[in-house]
Amino acid sequence: MAAVSHRKATDDPLWAKVLVVGTVMAFLALVLILPLIAVFAEALRKGLGVALEAIQNTDALAAIKLTLITAAISVPFNAAFGLCAAWAIAKHEFPGKPLLITLIDLPFSVSPVVAGLIYVLIFGLQGWFGEYLVDNDIKIIFAVPGIVLATVFVTFPFVARELIPLMQEQGTSEEEAAVSMGAGGLYTFWRVTAPNVRWGLMYGVLLCNARAMGEFGAVSVVSGHIRGLTNTMPLHVEILYNEYDFVGAFAVAALLCLLAVVTLVLKTAVEAAQPGMRGRSGH
């Protein structure tokens, strides 16, 4: 009973706090911060002018354009699907619900390379529809549609998995109230359900977009790496890097880093606006 301590039972001693925070900082610096700095440092190695030139040549601009197109198609598509799926799952009762949720999450567990492979097996030359596509002169694999499909696959669950728990928490009472007052289904959705989940939707879209613009493995399999035609930004980074054009590779990479930083800033802002979003795990 003699020991004198001023520390509460749930508090750690100062040395432990310093040790833990110090270790965490050192580890994160080594694993996360240093790579981020390295990208910008390598990009600017020969000066800002060279870096800017590297992202302004025709191939780089084509890659940026393709990346934007891919995201512009796959993100709205998955956002719409996510809303539909979350609505169907949260507001209705049916057998096999847990299975459906697991299946929607499935693309997260599949290697991106396998995600690309499946579309090659279906639409490739030797694939299910290979002959039909050749006969009708439709290109999916080694063309933009394949890149979009593969991107849709790997980003499929992002919006749905944010919205499902959110909508389930909110239950159906507000919708029932709206319907009981004579509101139609679509009206109820836009006026009651959608405003309640707008932060979750933004959160999902943010993560979905980051992955859509940054996807590498799946897109790499279906793209064919045709410069100026089927190269997205991450693929362009790879080509330049493998050609030992490091400044060029890192200049385009720096652009993608900025995208990541903007994503993280917006994500932090969404969390600040909606504290409940915090700590939800995205992918």
Partner 1 sequence: MTISIRSVEKKFGRYPALNKVDLEIKDGELLALLGPSGSGKTTLLRTIAGLEFPDAGQVLFDGQDVTFASAADRRVGFVFQQYALFKHMTVAKNIAFGLDVRKGKDKPSKAEIARRVDDLLKLVELDGLGKRYPSQLSGGQRQRVALSRALAVQPSVLLLDEPFGALDATVRKSLRKELRRVHDATGVTTIFVTHDQEEALELADRVAILNKGQIEQIGTPDQVHDTPETAFVCGFVGEANSFEGQVGGGQFTAGSLRLPAGGVREGSATAYVRPHDFVLDDGGFEVRIERAHVQGALTTVNAVAQDGRPIEISASRAEAARFQGTVKIAARKAHVYAA
Partner 2 sequence: MGVTLTVLSLIVLIPLSAVVLKAANQSPAEFWAVATSQRSLAAYRLSFGAAFVAAVINSIFGVLTAWALVRYEFPGKTLINALVDLPFALPTAVAGIALATLYAPNGWVGQFLTPLGIKAAYNPIGVTIALIFIGLPFVVRTIEPVLRDAAEDVEEAAASLGANRIDTILRIVLPALAPAWLTGFAMAFARGVGEYGSVIFIAGNMPYKSEIAPLLIIIQLEQFEYARAATIAVVMLAVSFTMLLVINAIQAWARRFD
Instruction: State the binding partner of 6 from partner 1, partner 2, none, CB within 5 to 8 A by kind.
Output: partner 1
Residue choice 71, 140, 146, 153 for contact with partner 2 (CB under 8 A): 153
Instruction: Tell me which stretch binds partner 1 (CB under 8 A): 3-11, 13-21, 133-141, 267-275.
Output: 3-11
> Closer CB to partner 1, residue 11 or residue 176?
11
x/- mask, partner 2, residues 5-44, rule CB under 8 A, reads ----xx-xx--xx--xx-xxx-xx-xxxxxxx-xx--x--
Query: Does 97 engage in binding with partner 2 (CB under 8 A)?
Result: no
DSSP 47: -
CA 128 – CA 108 distance, rounded (Å): 25
DSSP secondary structure string for all residues of 239-271: HHHHTT-HHHHHHHHHHHHHHHHHHHHHHHHHH
Query: Which positions from 4 through 43 interact with partner 1, judged by CB under 8 A?
Result: 4-9
Q: How far is the CB of 20 from partner 2 (least distance, A)?
A: 5
Which of 173, 144, 167 lies closest to 82 in space, CA to CA? Answer: 167
Q: Phi and psi for 216 in degrees, rounded to 5?
A: -125, -60
> Closer CB to partner 1, residue 4 or residue 186?
4
Query: Does 3 engage in binding with partner 1 (CB under 8 A)?
Result: yes
51's CB contacts (< 8 A; 6+ apart) are 43, 44, 247, 250, 251, 254
CA 173 – CA 195 distance, rounded (Å): 15
* The pair of three-digit structure tokens given for residue 253, joined into one six-digit string: 């990479």
Residue choice 69, 122, 143, 229 for contact with partner 2 (CB under 8 A): 122
Residue choice 52, 72, 177, 264 for contact with partner 2 (CB under 8 A): 264
Q: Which long-range contacts (CB under 8 A, 24 or more apart) does 17-26 make?
A: none
Q: How far is the CB of 223 from partner 2 (least distance, A)?
A: 12
Query: Does 180 engage in binding with partner 1 (CB under 8 A)?
Result: no
